[in-house]
Structures are given as structure tokens and as C-alpha cells.
């Protein structure tokens, strides 16, 4: 089975990495066929189709999931010929359809493409319905490739707007946006029912996004007011989504975490910087080094930790393999470095 993930363009590398991490977390056997600009095509071995719904509910940086019917050259005559000879009966099991296209880095008129392909399918005996179709055909053209398929599911990204920091019951400036927080959780490849820890939990932005995809969470912060605020936010979303209470909050020091060794499946955290670093330790370098030691101690063997930092931290990483590293420019005075680390020693 071929699947295409129509990625958001908000970051060059994170959307693709998030998809692959989710596939790994769900233990879906796959191989990458094409990695294109804002589109990832994979081939999957047979798997439970209900997992597509799980993917939809997890992903933050993907717009649509498409079952690929065919891939051809991005030339008009090639595209129309392929659609004309395809047997669409296995896909149009009802009657009505619509065609929607996305063209990127290619000089083809989108509206013309939709009309021509729609006309070809119409001649096969199917009815066009622009408002409420039974089947949604999706055409994606990126440079020299055309991907033709049917829409399997769309990701409701408006939910992340609803959970913006300013809209939460407890607000504190300088925190991660929900979309990036969810992507970070997914990058850890944490599985449903696993335990995820954020040792610098702040307002619980990461914990909320993990909790919403059935992850048990532990949040730690040295400031009692932040732990109280985290509880307010977690309780609010716990009730809003009718979820079981699967969180623990601790007032504690990330450099001396009160948890057993190798007790945590995944760790995701945004290391503090600026004013936020004025906690017990005298300087930020010590804070990073000592907290990374504790993160290593409590993480299970071969577990992943996702670290966000405003500075390069390679020299402080001991006992971890750097699996991936991403760079995100937030604004003129802030660049984030996102590390995915695997505990190997």
C-alpha cells in the first residue's frame, strides 16, 4: 500500500521526521519511496487500517493522508493518460466524486488540471459533486512528479489554534506553541500508554499534547507556581476531552529528579533560558549539563529524549547518540535547536 503525507511547509525537516516517528511508534513497517517538498510517499506492508485514524489524531505538521493510486511524470499528457486507463472501480465504490489538485514548483494551471481530470472520470460514468462527494481524488504535482490518489483523512489543525498559550487557563509567556509541542512528543516515538516526562514542564504545554494522545505524563518544575499552573491546565484539558487522569506533577529540581533509574519511556523538554534559568544553579551551563545527566539516568535503555535548546549542546551530551538535529528560527533573536537523542550506553 502506498501512502502520501501532504506536509505543512512551516519547517523544512520537522514534518517529515514527525511522520516517520509516528510510523515507528505505531510499529508500521514502511519504506520511503519519495521525499519531496511538502510531500512524503511511503510504501507500507499490510497493517491495521484503523491505525490511519491514530496517525491522523497524532500528527501536527501534516495536512492530509492520501492513498496513492498511481505516480507518473508531471506532464499533462502523461497525467491525463494515466487517469484515463486506470480502473477506478475499486476506489469509487459509491458514485460521486470531486478532484482537487495542488501544484508546486511546476507551471501547470490547477483549475484546468482539476477540470480535465474530472472530465475523464465523469466519462467513466461517475457523478461530480463539488459540495459533498463520496470520493475525494487528490492530485499533487511537485516538480517532475505527479501523485494521484484518494483522500483517506485530513488533520484538523484548528485544534492547535484552540490550545494556544494565551487561550489556556494558566498562561506564562515564552512557551512552545501546541503544534510544535505535539510534534516534539511525536518525535520521541512514545507509544500509547507509555510514560513521558518533562523535567522543565513550565505551563504543561508538552504534557497536554502528550496526554491528548493517550500518553501518561510526569511533569517536574522547580517553581511551585508553575506546577500549580500546570495542574490547572492539565485538569482543564482533562475535563474538556473527557480523559482519565493520567498525570503526575512534582515540585522538584531537574538536576536531582525524584524518579527511579530507567523508569521513563520518553523525555521531551524545552530547556530553560534567559530569566527562566535563575533557579538554584548559578549558571546555565551547569544546569544543562547536570539535567542531561539526570535525564540519562531516568530514561529506559534505548529510549529517546527530545531536547529543545537555544544553544548548541553537543559538548554536554554524554551517553546519548544524536539521532537527529533540527534548527528552527523563531524570530530575530531566538533560534531553537531540536535534538533527538537515543540512550545507548
Q: How many CB atoms lie within 10 A of CB 131?
A: 6
Q: What is the CA radius of gyration of the chain?
A: 23
Distance CA 156, CA 139 (A): 20
Task: Give pTM, 2 decimals.
Answer: 0.94
In the prediction, which pLDDT does 242 show? 94
Residues of the chain with pLDDT under 50: none
In the prediction, which pLDDT does 35 show? 97
Q: Tell me: the pLDDT tens digits for 124-134?
A: 999 999 999 99
Q: What domains can you pick out in the chain, each with its CATH number?
A: 2-154 (3.30.2130.30), 158-343 (3.40.50.150)
Grid cell listed for 19:
511522520
Q: Residues near 171 by Cβ (< 8 Å), separated by ≥ 6?
A: 165, 203
Distance CA 343, CA 334 (A): 28
Q: Tell me: the pLDDT tens digits for 315-331?
A: 999 999 999 999 999 88
CB–CB of 55/44 below 8 Å?
Answer: no
Amino acid at each position: 500500500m502506498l501512502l502520501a503525507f501532504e506536509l505543512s511547509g512551516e519547517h523544512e525537516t520537522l514534518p517529515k521526521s514527525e511522520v516517520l516517528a509516528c510510523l515507528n511508534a505505531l510499529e508500521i513497517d514502511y519504506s520511503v519511496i519519495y521525499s519531496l517538498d511538502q510531500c512524503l510517499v511511503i510504501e507500507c506492508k499490510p497493517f491495521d487500517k484503523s491505525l490511519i485514524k491514530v496517525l491522523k489524531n497524532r500528527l501536527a505538521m501534516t495536512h492530509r493522508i492520501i492513498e496513492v493510486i498511481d505516480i507518473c511524470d508531471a506532464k499533462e499528457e502523461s497525467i491525463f493518460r494515466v487517469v484515463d486507463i486506470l480502473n477506478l472501480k475499486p476506489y469509487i465504490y459509491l458514485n460521486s466524486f470531486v478532484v482537487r489538485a495542488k501544484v508546486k514548483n511546476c507551471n501547470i494551471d490547477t483549475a484546468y488540471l482539476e477540470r480535465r481530470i474530472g472530465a475523464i472520470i465523469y466519462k467513466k460514468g461517475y457523478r461530480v459533486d463539488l459540495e459533498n462527494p463520496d470520493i475525494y481524488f487528490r492530485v499533487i504535482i511537485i516538480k517532475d512528479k505527479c501523485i494521484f490518489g484518494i483522500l483517506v483523512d485530513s488533520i484538523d489543525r484548528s485544534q492547535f489554534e484552540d490550545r494556544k498559550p494565551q487561550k489556556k487557563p494558566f498562561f506564562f509567556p515564552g512557551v512552545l506553541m501546541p503544534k510544535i509541542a505535539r510534534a516534539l512528543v511525536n518525535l520521541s516515538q512514545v507509544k500509547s500508554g507509555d510514560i513521558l516526562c518533562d523535567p522543565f514542564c513550565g505551563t504543561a504545554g508538552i504534557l497536554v499534547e502528550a496526554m491528548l494522545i493517550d500518553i501518561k505524563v510526569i511533569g517536574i518544575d522547580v517553581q511551585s507556581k508553575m506546577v500549580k499552573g500546570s495542574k490547572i491546565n492539565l485538569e482543564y484539558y482533562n475535563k474538556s476531552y473527557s480523559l482519565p487522569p493520567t498525570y503526575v506533577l512534582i515540585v522538584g529540581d531537574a538536576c536531582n529528579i525524584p524518579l527511579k533509574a530507567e523508569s521513563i519511556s520518553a523525555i521531551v523538554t524545552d530547556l530553560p533560558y534567559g530569566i527562566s534559568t535563575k533557579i538554584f544553579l548559578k549558571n546555565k551551563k551547569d544546569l544543562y549539563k547536570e539535567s542531561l545527566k539526570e535525564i540519562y539516568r531516568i530514561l529506559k535503555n534505548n529510549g529517546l529524549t527530545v531536547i529543545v535548546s537555544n544553544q548548541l549542546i553537543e559538548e554536554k551530551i554524554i551517553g546519548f547518540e544524536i539521532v537527529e538535529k533540527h534548527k528552527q528560527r523563531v524570530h530575530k533573536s531566538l533560534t531553537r535547536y531540536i535534538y533527538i537523542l537515543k540512550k545507548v550506553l
